[in-house]
Amino acid sequence: MKIKNICIVGGGSSGWMTAASLAHALPEIKVTLIESANVKTIGVGESTLGHINSFMDSLGLEDKDWMKECNATYKTSIKFTDFGKIGETFHYPFGKFDLTDTNKGLMDWFEWKVRDPKVKTSNFAEFFHSSVEMIDQNKMTTNSKGELRGFDFKKDTAYHMDAGLFGQFLKRKFCSEMTHLLDDVTEVNTNPAGEIVSLDTKSSGEIHADLFIDCTGFLSLILDKTMKVPFVSFNETLLNDRALATQLPYIDKDTEMESVTECTGIEAGWVWNIPLYNRIGTGYVYSSKYATREEAEIQFRAHLAKTDPKRAADAKIFALKIRHGIHEKLWVKNAVGVGLSSGFIEPLESTGLMMTHEVIMVLLRTLSRRDGQVTQFDKDSFNFAVREAMEGFKSFIAQHYALSSRSDTPYWKHATETLEYDKGVAEYKISPSPRPSSNIDLAYRLNISRVFDTEMGGLPYIAAGSGYSPITKFDMDLTDATIGVKDETWKGTKIRWKAHNEKVKAAVDLMPTHYEFLKKMYGDN
């Protein structure tokens, strides 16, 4: 099929991100976007990952072009509190591991931890990332003078943003030439082969296109309602099926505007905290099996009250249902799902917006590879790539709960003592290289290979932060007995790291706070 005309159904962040990308990269394709005035967008997907920098680059966007208009702040890490154990915190910072002073890479730290159990699990990220000191002091720098070894400001930062404002910015910036219809789709017309021929609208008549992109969110008007594509649920692995959300005013921007997304484990799930420039976005993702709507709100407000009781009491809270999973196919016939319409995983690792822009990037590659000519293989390849990515994220999210030691509430007890995490292992037996983020890969590394390396992505942070090491005292004692002497090369690493960390602390002391940094960048007095 040759694609010359595309119709996007739905606005919001996914609709306008798709439209902007098509307009910028493939201006020869005619695009029509139909947006209902009666559909409210979901404003909780306000945290991103480093992958979004590729999306921004594809549009030629610099931070100064859009951040202020979208109340955006920087994000340098995900901070987990009360996940591995109550009272403990660990970071998952962006960027590559700094192995400058190590002998055995990541294993230096794990050996140090085994030899010295007093070492805090939170020390892992700090050990390999100078930026963690900056994050903990709530400072920010472009690192133009190289104060933080290994920190690349351009690559190692992501964003907190108002996703709705970002969609509107893209609309203004890139989409002025395309057809925008503020209208409702009343009927999706298909031919005997199951392909979409046209859309009937309430006021604009019949809309024809070669390709129809579903950006209708959880409604999934095209994939679900029209194409009847089966939905593969992840609920067996991921417990949380509800969310409460609210927006809070700042009390003190200098201290509260952190460059991290904080995730805090509470009774029946976890609370996110996302500091934007003008407000804080926060919410509670929980399981309805372990908390009613009313119980969840009590738990959520109690958590918020720890910071400020009045702010917690005044908060206007709205509720959401979560449907974990993905459609068996995202590209069916001449229809493609982008954003929530295609699938969703809870926002613990900010994968919502990430999957949106990653799917858009795959779509652009497909459409530009052979000048808009798309074959069945292209569709199958698209589906396989996106489905594999989602499966990997599912496993990665599950590991945050699986590796926890918490059993203090029925929810956490179920997550750590009852829920089975080896489902689907058989499918990997034929694969020479399991997914880097799969549960089976982690299980193998922990029990057989006993080595963590930099190719494992985020797994070492989650494992170390949760107190899981690929080597144990048993392994170290066995090695010592075999060799006949303790291998203590890690001591040199520790000495070098402490000396380096003292220099980092001195440099960070001189940096502006994240809020001060943004004020100067935005030109605010």
Concatenated DSSP letters of 447-483 = III----GGGTTHHHHHHHTT--SS-HHHHHHHHHHH
Q: And the tokens for 206? A: 């019949």
Grade residue 404 by pLDDT with cuts at 50, 70 and 90.
Answer: very high
- 371 and 252 within one domain: no
Grade residue 42 by pLDDT with cuts at 50, 70 and 90.
Answer: low
Tokens 């404002």 found at: 165
Residue 136 lies in a domain: no
- 225 and 199 within one domain: yes
Q: Using CB atoms within 10 A of its CB, is residue 414 exposed (0-12), middle (13-18) or buried (19+)?
A: middle
For residues 457-475, give the mean pLDDT.
91
Q: How many domains does the chain have?
A: 2
Grade residue 207 by pLDDT with cuts at 50, 70 and 90.
Answer: very high
Q: For residue 253, which amino acid is it? A: K
Residue 479 lies in a domain: no
Grade residue 428 by pLDDT with cuts at 50, 70 and 90.
Answer: very low
Q: Is the pTM of this model over 0.85?
A: yes
- 331 and 215 within one domain: yes
Give the lowest-confidence range in 64-73, 419-428, 463-472: 419-428
Residue 346 lies in a domain: yes
- 312 and 334 within one domain: no
Distance, in Å, from the CA atom of 235 to the CA atom of 277, rounded to the nearest integer, reads: 34
Residue 305 lies in a domain: yes
- 311 and 168 within one domain: no
Q: In the annotation, is 75 catalytic?
A: yes
What integer pLDDT is reported at residue 405 of this predicted model? 93
- Which of the listed residues 366, 384, 402 is the one where a domain comes to its end? 384
- Which of the listed residues 384, 401, 422 is the one where a domain comes to its end? 384
Distance, in Å, from the CA atom of 278 to the CA atom of 162, rounded to the nearest integer, reads: 10
Distance, in Å, from the CA atom of 162 to the CA atom of 276, rounded to the nearest integer, reads: 7
Q: Which of 97-111, 257-271, 486-500 ranks highest by mean pLDDT?
A: 257-271
Residue 261 lies in a domain: yes
Residue 429 above 50 pLDDT? Answer: no
Catalytic residue among 75, 139, 171, 333: 75
Distance, in Å, from the CA atom of 369 to the CA atom of 383, rounded to the nearest integer, reads: 16
Residue 426 above 50 pLDDT? Answer: no
Read out DSSP for 224-289?
Answer: IIIT---EEE-TTT----EEEEEEE--S-HHHH--SEEEEEEETTEEEEEEE-SS-EEEEEEE-TT
Residue 209 lies in a domain: yes
Residue 266 above 70 pLDDT? Answer: yes
Residue 102 above 80 pLDDT? Answer: yes
- 248 and 317 within one domain: yes
- 68 and 167 within one domain: yes
Residue 457 above 90 pLDDT? Answer: no
- 264 and 211 within one domain: no
What integer pLDDT is reported at residue 422 of this predicted model? 63
- 366 and 309 within one domain: no
Residue 95 lies in a domain: no
Distance, in Å, from the CA atom of 522 to the CA atom of 444, rounded to the nearest integer, reads: 48
Grade residue 53 by pLDDT with cuts at 50, 70 and 90.
Answer: very high
Domain CATH number, residue 230: 3.50.50.60
φ, ψ at 284 (rounded to 5°):
-120, 115
3-class SS string, 363-410: HHHHHHHCCCECCHHHHHHHHHHHHHHHHHHHHHHHHHHHCCCCCCCH
Distance, in Å, from the CA atom of 506 to the CA atom of 134, rounded to the nearest integer, reads: 10
- 340 and 277 within one domain: no
pLDDT, tens digit, for every residue of 153-172? 999 999 999 999 999 999 99
CA 143 to chain centre: 25
Give the lowest-confidence range in 33-47, 315-329, 430-444, 497-511: 430-444
- Which of the listed residues 303, 321, 339 is the one where a domain comes to its end? 321
What integer pLDDT is reported at residue 74 of this predicted model? 97
Residue 376 above 50 pLDDT? Answer: yes
Between 127 and 478, residue with greater pLDDT? 127
What integer pLDDT is reported at residue 438 of this predicted model? 61
Residue 298 lies in a domain: yes
- 292 and 363 within one domain: no
What integer pLDDT is reported at residue 177 of this predicted model? 92
- 170 and 67 within one domain: yes
Domain extent at residue 312? 242-321
For a pLDDT cut of 90, what percent of the chain falls above it?
Answer: 74
How far does the chain reach from its first CA to its final CA, in angstroms? 55
